[in-house]
């Protein structure tokens, strides 16, 4: 609890206490404005009917009597109406007390705004008296006629002399220099009710009036027991104010801390999301760079392989004829070199796969990639590239097996084309199919994978029809006991793909 020690008058203590008091009153005004909004919702939407009240007045008297009842609620709603009427100028009206003297101008919005503007010209932070003076300037009040009643003698002397004249002597007061009379009893020991020449009555501090003419009322004397009770009540009231002040300060501090933590969490979440996006972009860029570097390296290796193949061809042509077994073998070697060169030229086109993945013929792309990796492994003696090529081509991870497999794969398109040409002929027989298929017996599974299901069924049907004819025919055996009829279903032993190299 915020308290000051007796005799402590340091500037820092005064500043702390003064700031705390201002913050407390500001919070009270803010909560009061929030309560007015909730009261409007209760009144306009008639939510009080859910509790059994017949009208808004009955609700105020039944539930809000501890806070002034219907009269106080009406004052708050009237002040809210004044603030809404003046529009942007309403931000300078801090509470209901300041709006009270302007309420009589609510039916004339232009004059109401004019009064607020005049008050702001006089004081950038106007008070209740500033608004009252401005309203009086815009629409002066007519003095009310009072029935003068004869003074009734009392037992005690009147505390206020009859109609003493006073003058406002404080320069900052709106009524500075004006004179008036005191026609009513003072409400307290520090203020007087002054009636000015225009008939308006205002509550003026004694310090704002000329001291010799101010009739200070005599202070009432209380019995000792009453004085002690009043002192205890004041002390309790002061303690209660300090307690409320401390609770309010703790609540405001907690609210500020909660908002600050929420803002920090939102900023951290935003930064983490931004960092993640940047990280993903960096990874994507690094992948693109790696792909470009790999393609560049592959192109360089292809150029080296082309040069090496050209050197081998030149060396082959320069060798004497007696080093070759026959002309067919030499021609087969040239054909193989030509096919390898064509495969290398195709591998260069694999760079397009890095920009757009193949939509069709993916198997052919994998084969070309395997051939390129095999050539790269042979040129660089790279074990990993050799294993990758063997995995793609479906062979053993040796240079000889990969070269043999690559040669076989080069013949797949030709084999498929020739077999489809035979199958498309009218009256195609099993023997016609075998005549072509025996050329590619070593890659039978490969070219069958390229054929359509209809073509596979046609081949199977041809085989079944031929087998049934053979089964019905008489069997013939040679001197060694071999069955000639079964030889019809088998491909003739001709030079295979591997024997042509």
> What CATH code is carried by the domain that includes residue 167?
2.30.30.30
5 domain residue, yes or no: no
Last residue of a domain, one of 89, 105, 140: 140
Q: How far apart are CA 183 and CA 180, in angstroms?
A: 9
Lowest mean pLDDT among 285-294, 306-315, 353-362, 377-386: 353-362
Lowest mean pLDDT among 146-155, 188-197, 373-382, 390-399: 146-155
Same-domain status, 384 and 480: yes
Same-domain status, 76 and 172: no
Same-domain status, 174 and 46: no
406 backbone φψ class: left, alpha, beta (φ>0; ψ -120 to 50) = alpha
Between 347 and 444, the higher pLDDT residue: 444
- Mean pLDDT, all residues of the chain: 75
Phi, psi (deg, nearest 5) at residue 167: -130, 140
Between 462 and 366, the higher pLDDT residue: 462
Same-domain status, 453 and 490: yes
Lowest mean pLDDT among 170-174, 387-391, 488-492: 488-492
- What pairs with residue 194 in β-bridges? 182, 202
182, 215 contact by CB (below 8 A): yes
| pLDDT in the model for residue 443 | 79
Q: How far apart are CA 367 and CA 347, in angstroms?
A: 10
What is the DSSP track for 365-407?
HHHHHHHHHHHHHHHHT-HHHHHHHHHHHTS-SSHHHHHHHHH
| pLDDT in the model for residue 2 | 42
Q: How far is CA 18 from CA 26, 280, 443, in A?
A: 12, 55, 99
> Cβ atoms within 10 A of the Cβ of 67, count?
11
Between 227 and 202, the higher pLDDT residue: 202
Q: How far apart are CA 444 and CA 408, in angstroms?
A: 10
Between 375 and 37, the higher pLDDT residue: 37
- What pairs with residue 168 in β-bridges? 209
Q: How far apart are CA 175 and CA 489, in angstroms?
A: 130
Same-domain status, 111 and 179: no
Same-domain status, 179 and 47: no
What is the DSSP track for 405-425?
HHHHHHTHHHHHHHHHHHHTS
pLDDT at position 17 over 70:
yes
Q: How far is CA 75 from CA 45, 72, 96, 126, 236, in A?
A: 20, 5, 7, 20, 29
pLDDT at position 434 over 70:
yes
Contacts of 263 (CB under 8 A, 6+ apart): none
State the pLDDT confidence band at 331, using cuts at 50, 70 and 90: low
Mean pLDDT of 199-218: 76
Report how many domains make up the chain.
3
pLDDT tens track for 100-154: 888 888 888 888 888 888 888 888 888 888 888 888 888 887 665 555 544 544 4
Mean pLDDT of 297-326: 76
| pLDDT in the model for residue 180 | 87
Q: Which helix (H) or strand (E) holds 213?
A: none
Strand order in the sheet with 191-196: 165-167, 179-182, 191-196, 201-205
Q: How many H helices and E strands in the chain?
A: 16, 4
287 domain residue, yes or no: no
The maximal CA–CA distance of the chain, rounded, in angstroms, is: 168
412 domain residue, yes or no: yes
Q: How far apart are CA 447 and CA 420, in angstroms?
A: 10
194 domain residue, yes or no: yes
Percent over 90 (pLDDT), the chain = 4
Mean pLDDT of 254-260: 89
51 domain residue, yes or no: yes
Mean pLDDT of 11-38: 78
Same-domain status, 186 and 63: no
Mean pLDDT of 468-490: 54
Same-domain status, 393 and 455: yes
| pLDDT in the model for residue 107 | 85
Which contacts (CB < 8 Å, 24+ apart) does range 323-332 have? 332/500, 332/501
289, 338 contact by CB (below 8 A): no
Q: What is the dihedral of CA 35, 40, 42, 45, to 10 degrees?
A: -150
Q: Which domain holds residue 166?
A: 160-216
What is the DSSP track for 307-354?
HHHHHHHHHHHHS-GGGSS-HHHHHHHHHHHHHHHHHHHHHHGGGGGG
339 domain residue, yes or no: no
Q: How far apart are CA 403 and CA 445, in angstroms?
A: 18
Interior CA angle at 158 toward 155 and 161, to 5°?
150
Lowest mean pLDDT among 11-15, 70-74, 238-242: 11-15
Length of the chain measured in residues? 501
| pLDDT in the model for residue 283 | 93
8 domain residue, yes or no: no
| pLDDT in the model for residue 490 | 53
Q: How far is CA 112 from CA 109, 241, 326, in A?
A: 5, 36, 120
193, 187 contact by CB (below 8 A): yes
96, 76 contact by CB (below 8 A): yes
Mean pLDDT of 284-312: 89
Same-domain status, 53 and 92: yes
- Expressed in angstroms, the distance from the first to the final Cα of the chain is 104
pLDDT at position 234 over 70:
yes
Q: How far apart are CA 2 and CA 364, in angstroms?
A: 86
Query: Can you give the pTM of this predicted structure?
Result: 0.30
What is the DSSP track for 182-198?
E-S--SSSSEEEEEETT
pLDDT tens track for 333-364: 565 556 555 554 544 444 454 445 555 555 66
31 domain residue, yes or no: yes
Provide the b/e sequence for 169-198 (b: ≥16 CB within 10 Å): eeeebbbeeeebebeeebeeeebbbbbbee
Phi, psi (deg, nearest 5) at residue 145: -85, 125
Last residue of a domain, one of 216, 234, 262: 216
Q: How far is CA 395 from CA 328, 403, 461, in A?
A: 27, 10, 31
Q: Which helix (H) or strand (E) holds 160?
A: none
pLDDT at position 284 over 50:
yes
Same-domain status, 135 and 168: no
| pLDDT in the model for residue 250 | 92
Between 248 and 473, the higher pLDDT residue: 248
| pLDDT in the model for residue 430 | 83
Q: What is the dihedral of CA 291, 296, 297, 301, to 10 degrees?
A: 140
| pLDDT in the model for residue 286 | 92
Same-domain status, 118 and 194: no
- What pairs with residue 203 in β-bridges? 193
Same-domain status, 426 and 466: yes
Last residue of a domain, one of 140, 175, 205: 140
């Amino acid at each position: 609890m915020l308290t000051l020690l007796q005799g402590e008058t340091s500037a820092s203590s005064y500043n702390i206490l003064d700031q705390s008091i201002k913050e407390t009153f500001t919070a009270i005004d803010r909560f009061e404005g929030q309560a007015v909004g909730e009261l409007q919702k209760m009144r306009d939407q008639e939510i009080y009917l859910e509790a059994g009240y017949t009208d808004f007045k009955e609700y105020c008297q039944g539930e809000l009597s501890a806070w002034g009842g219907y009269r106080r609620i009406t004052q708050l709603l009237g002040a809210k109406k004044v603030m809404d009427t003046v529009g942007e100028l309403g931000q300078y009206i801090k509470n209901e007390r300041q709006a009270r003297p302007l309420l009589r101008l609510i039916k004339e919005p232009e004059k109401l705004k004019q009064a607020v503007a005049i008050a702001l010209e006089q004081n950038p932070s106007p008070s209740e008296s500033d608004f009252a003076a401005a309203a009086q300037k815009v629409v002066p009040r007519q003095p009310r006629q009072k029935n003068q009643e004869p003074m009734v003698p009392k037992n005690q002397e009147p505390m206020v002399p009859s109609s003493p004249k006073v003058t406002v002597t404080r320069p900052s007061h709106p009524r500075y220099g004006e004179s008036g009379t005191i026609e009513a009893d003072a409400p307290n020991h520090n203020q007087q009710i002054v009636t000015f020449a225009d008939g308006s009555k205002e509550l003026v501090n004694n310090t704002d009036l000329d001291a010799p003419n101010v009739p200070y009322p005599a202070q009432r004397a209380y019995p000792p027991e009453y004085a002690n009770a009043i002192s205890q009540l004041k002390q309790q009231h002061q303690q209660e104010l300090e307690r409320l002040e401390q609770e309010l300060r703790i609540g405001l501090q907690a609210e500020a801390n909660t908002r600050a933590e929420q803002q920090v969490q939102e900023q951290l979440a935003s930064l983490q999301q931004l960092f993640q996006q940047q990280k993903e972009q960096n990874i994507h860029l690094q992948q693109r760079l790696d792909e470009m570097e790999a393609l560049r390296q592959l192109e360089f290796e292809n150029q080296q392989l082309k040069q090496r193949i050209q050197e081998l061809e030149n060396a082959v042509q320069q060798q004497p004829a007696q080093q070759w077994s026959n002309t067919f073998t030499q021609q087969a070697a040239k054909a193989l070199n030509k096919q390898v060169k064509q495969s290398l030229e195709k591998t260069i086109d694999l760079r397009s796969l890095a920009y757009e993945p193949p939509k069709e013929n993916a198997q052919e792309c994998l084969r070309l990639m395997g051939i390129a990796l095999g050539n790269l492994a042979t040129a660089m003696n790279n074990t990993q590239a050799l294993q990758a090529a063997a995995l793609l081509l479906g062979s053993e991870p040796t240079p000889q097996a990969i070269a043999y497999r690559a040669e076989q794969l080069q013949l797949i398109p030709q084999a498929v084309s020739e077999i489809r040409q035979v199958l498309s002929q009218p009256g195609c027989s099993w023997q016609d199919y075998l005549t072509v298929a025996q050329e590619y017996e070593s890659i039978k599974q490969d070219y069958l994978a390229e054929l359509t299901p209809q073509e596979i069924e046609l081949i199977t049907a041809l085989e079944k029809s031929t087998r049934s004819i053979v089964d019905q025919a008489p069997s013939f055996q040679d001197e060694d006991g071999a069955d000639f009829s079964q030889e019809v279903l088998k491909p003739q032993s001709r030079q295979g793909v591997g024997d042509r190299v």
